[in-house]
């Protein structure tokens, strides 16, 4: 064949390319999920510390602000 691919070769090349695209997409999705979870856990720790501080200071306004955000975050995660 004069530098032309047979239809079988084209299908195989296309299937390999599609497989790589799917694997790349799944890997990117997994990375996004891991990063989102890490950020959420860090935010939860931050909010828990702020809630504890607000309780220690008897600061109802700060307690309500941080606890509402904490509740929203926990609801969205689980």
Q: Which residues fall within 8 angstroms of residue 69, CB to CB, at 6 or more apart? A: 47
pTM for the model stands at 0.69
Distance CA 1, CA 17 (A): 22
CB 62 within 8 A of CB 54: yes
- Residue matched to tokens 């979870």: 37
Q: Domain spans of the chain? A: 7-77
Q: How many CB atoms lie within 10 A of CB 66?
A: 21
State the Cα angle at 57 between 53 and 61, rounded to 5°: 85
Q: pLDDT truncated to tens, each residue of the chain (78 aa)?
A: 555 667 777 667 776 778 888 899 999 999 999 999 999 999 999 999 999 999 999 999 999 999 999 999 999 987
């Amino acid at each position: 064949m004069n530098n032309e691919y047979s239809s079988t070769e084209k299908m195989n090349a296309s299937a390999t390319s599609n497989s790589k695209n799917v694997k790349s997409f799944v890997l990117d999705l997994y990375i996004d999920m891991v990063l989102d979870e890490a950020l959420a856990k860090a935010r939860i720790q931050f909010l828990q510390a702020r809630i504890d501080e607000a309780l220690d200071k008897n600061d109802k306004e700060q307690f309500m602000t941080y606890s509402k955000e904490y509740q929203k975050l926990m609801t969205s995660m689980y």
